[in-house]
Amino acid sequence: MGKRIHFIPILVLIAFVSLVGSMAATVVPNRGAHVGFYSTTCPQVEAIVRATVKSHFRLDPTVAPGLLRMHFHDCFVRGCDASVLLVGPRTERAAPPNLSLNGFEVINDAKSRLERVCPGVVSCADILALAARDSVVLTKGVSWAVPTGRRDGRVSLALEANNALPNVNDTIQTHRKLFKSKGLNTQDLVTLVGAHTIGTTACSVFKYRLYNFSTTTRSGADPAMNPSFVHQLRTLCPKNGEGSLNIGLDISTPNQFDTSFFSNLRNGRGVLESDQKLWNDPLTRAFVRRFLLKGSLGLNFELEFGKSMVKMSNIGVKTGTRGEIRRICTMVN
């Protein structure tokens, strides 16, 4: 089976998508960046990033959901400008929601390789966007064309990250308002949270749902949870345990990018409270249902995921003379 992929609650871009052959989604980008930005200045960029992500993934599959989450956390704070990569005691990277991010070494490695071939050309923000896409492909998801041309930001503040990122116990209304403020709609919310089909989270993140959630149920567990699932998770996450064990957010197929995450929500088997609320709220439940339906009434999750990722990856993009092209991703020039 290999190493289990590590997550991180991520709530984890619109353009038009068409299927290329039967495997890849090609997205026509909106304003801010465009597909093929480096076609003349660094035509090897996508191949180099893809090879780098693949080499790290072979050694440590946890980088796939890690990079996907990192891209989300970057875009929701100051836009998609690689500010999450900057190192410092008060940068975004030092904020509590970002302390469990992983995959930084992949971005640094890709940047080093690109600097040897195309010095001073490719931004760290674009590397992160490409790496997030490649992570989905490596976990058997469908590819999409990534618009590039972003520039890197020079400011990174931990306080902003604390205030801008969603929490696992927020209401759906709170999440919808947050996503709307970024130009993302309810379908984007459900689609991007679907990134939780890969990866894991620690028992400590959700254990309150198992023991101390409700005074109206005899067990004390969240009544939205399937009782058999409560029993399963309690076995894995005992009440007095240390809480560091990682559990698949998609308990069925935590290493594969698919729709079983949504099936789990329908069956009361969402690990995170905010995930399960997607089924409990009628506005978001409608999209969960459509991702599970076949035919004209259904939605193709993997193709829609590419659309929403492109839409998300254009939040607050810096182009032209704004920002810079960092020589090293962890520090400004």
Nearest to 104 by CA among 89, 122, 90, 124: 124
Q: What is the pTM of this model?
A: 0.89
Has 34 been annotated as catalytic? no
The predicted structure's pLDDT at residue 215? 67
Closest CA to 313 of 11, 16, 30: 30
pLDDT single digits (tens) 248-258: 999 999 999 99
**For position 7, what pLDDT does the model report?**
43
pLDDT confidence band for 214 (50 / 70 / 90): confident
Euclidean distance between CA atoms 136 and 154, whole angstroms: 28
Q: Tell me how far apart the alpha carbons of residues 137 and 277 are, in angstroms, rounded to a whole number.
A: 27
Contact in structure between 67 and 49 (CB atoms under 8 Å): no
CA–CA distance, 231 with 238 (Å, rounded to integer) = 10
What are the pLDDT digits (tens) for 122-153?
Answer: 999 999 999 999 999 999 999 999 999 999 99
Residue 47 has pLDDT above 50, yes or no: yes
Of 160, 56, 54, 154, nearest in space to 98 by CA: 160
Catalytic residue among 73, 175, 196, 231: 73
Tens of pLDDT, residue by residue over 299-319, are 999 999 999 999 999 999 999
Q: What angle do CA 182, 315, 118 make, to 5 degrees?
A: 165
CA dist., res. 133 & res. 309, Å (int): 8
Contact 309, 145 (CB under 8 A): no
CA separation for the pair 269, 292 (Å, rounded)? 15
Q: What local confidence, expressed as pLDDT, does residue 175 receive? A: 97
Residue 74 burial (CB < 10 Å; 0-12/13-18/19+)? Answer: buried
pLDDT, tens digit (0-9, with 9 covering 90-100), for 264-276:
999 999 999 999 9
Question: At residue 328, what are phi and psi to the nearest 5 degrees?
Answer: -130, 130
